[in-house]
Amino acid sequence: MKKIIPLILFFSGFFSVAHSQIFTDSIPESNYNVYSSLVEKGVSMLCDEMTVIGRDKIFFIEDMKTSDEVGFICDKLKNKMRDFKIVGNNLMPDSSYVIKFSGIKFETKYSNIKKSSLIKRELGREILVKFQCKIYFRDSLVYSYYFNDKSDSKFDFTYLNYVEAGDRQFLKGEVPEATFRDKYITPIVVISASVIAVILFFVIRSK
């Protein structure tokens, strides 16, 4: 019995650490929310300029529905500027200010990172947003700026479907192949520890 006690203590410690790593993690922020934060930051300068121009003016967004990225930017802009007259879909009045977005790049990248857990697979996440915005009035450039920012984080691989929830294609990223440790060693260790724990349980009961 005395020889079994150190094993009991070891596996009790192992499962205590494993339990804390599984159940103390907070749910990661979704890609949708990360993009929302970056884009809202990106259109803040545009919102400031629109405020200077005046809420009584009409703002036409060119090519509003040409891509998911432009549509996403426009949705965030409209949410922030609900009291402004923002139109699209080729309904451009002669007196409107024209907003053009170009050089748009939304990118989701995942990477394998150094493990900080005994039993979890973690992914590094980089989300990039960049675009150029210009405002014209009757073919004359009124305002222009360039936005380029990114977010870096990491999350538990088991949350991947939650992280990528949404229909827009840019919310998805290519997941790198799991490392040898994640593929083979970690599952073997976890399964072996579970089997040994069960065996010890019945050995102790039989004493």
> What whole-number distance in Å separates Cα of residue 18 and Cα of residue 194?
11
**Average pLDDT for residues 97-126, to the nearest whole number?**
86
pTM to 2 decimals?
A: 0.76
Tell me which of 152 and 115 has the higher pLDDT.
Answer: 152
Instruction: Give yes or no for a contact between 104 and 70, defined as CB atoms under 8 angstroms apart.
Output: yes
Rounded (5°) CA angle 65-68-71: 50
Residue 192 clears pLDDT 90, i.e. is over it: no
Q: Do strands 97-112 and 85-87 pair parallel, antiparallel, or not at all (unpaired)? A: unpaired
Instruction: Give CA 164 to chain center in angstroms.
Output: 7
Tell me which of 181 and 206 has the higher pLDDT.
Answer: 206
The string of pLDDT tens digits covering residues 76-106 is 999 999 999 998 766 666 778 999 999 999 9
Strand stretches in the chain, DSSP E: 58-61, 85-87, 97-112, 122-137, 140-156
The string of pLDDT tens digits covering residues 138-189 is 889 999 999 999 999 999 989 999 999 999 999 999 999 865 455 545 555 5
